[in-house]
Amino acid sequence: MIRVVQQSLLGSILSNMLLVLGCAFFTGGLVFYGREQFFNKATAAVDSSLLLMAVMGLLFPAVLHSTHTELHFGKSELALSRFSSCIMLVAYASYLAFQLKRQKNQYIPVGEGETQTEEGSDDEDDPEISKWESIIWLSILTAWVSVLSEYLVNAIEGASASLKIPVAFISVILLPIVGNAAEHAGAIMFAMKDKLDISLGVAIGSSTQIAMFGSYGAFNLLKMLKSLGYEPCHLSVPWGSP
- Angstrom distance (rounded) from CA 207 to CA 214: 10
What is the arithmetic mean of pLDDT over 124-135? Answer: 77
Pick the residue with more confidence: 208 or 116? Answer: 208
pLDDT band at 39 (very low <50, low <70, confident <90, very high): confident
On whether the pTM is more than 0.75, the answer is no
Residue boundaries of the structural domains of the chain: 8-110+180-226
Tell me: pLDDT of 24 over 80.
Answer: yes
Tell me: pLDDT of 230 over 50.
Answer: no
Tell me: pLDDT of 25 over 50.
Answer: yes
Model confidence pLDDT, tens digit, residues 177-187: 888 888 889 89
Model confidence pLDDT, tens digit, residues 64-101: 777 776 666 667 777 777 788 788 888 888 888 877 77
The 3-class secondary structure across the chain, one letter per residue, is CHHHHHHHHHHHHHHHHHHHHHHHHHHHHHHCCCCCCCCCHHHHHHHHHHHHHHHHHHHHHHHHHHHCCCCCCCHHHHHHHHHHHHHHHHHHHHHHHHHHHCCCCCCCCCCCCHHHHHHHHHCCCCCCCCHHHHHHHHHHHHHHHHHHHHHHHHCHHHHHHHHCCCHHHHHHHHHHHHHCHHHHHHHHHHHHCCCHHHHHHHHHHHHHHHHHHHHHHHHHHHHHHHCCCCCCCCCCCCCCCC
Whole-number average pLDDT of the chain? 76
Tell me: pLDDT of 204 over 70.
Answer: yes
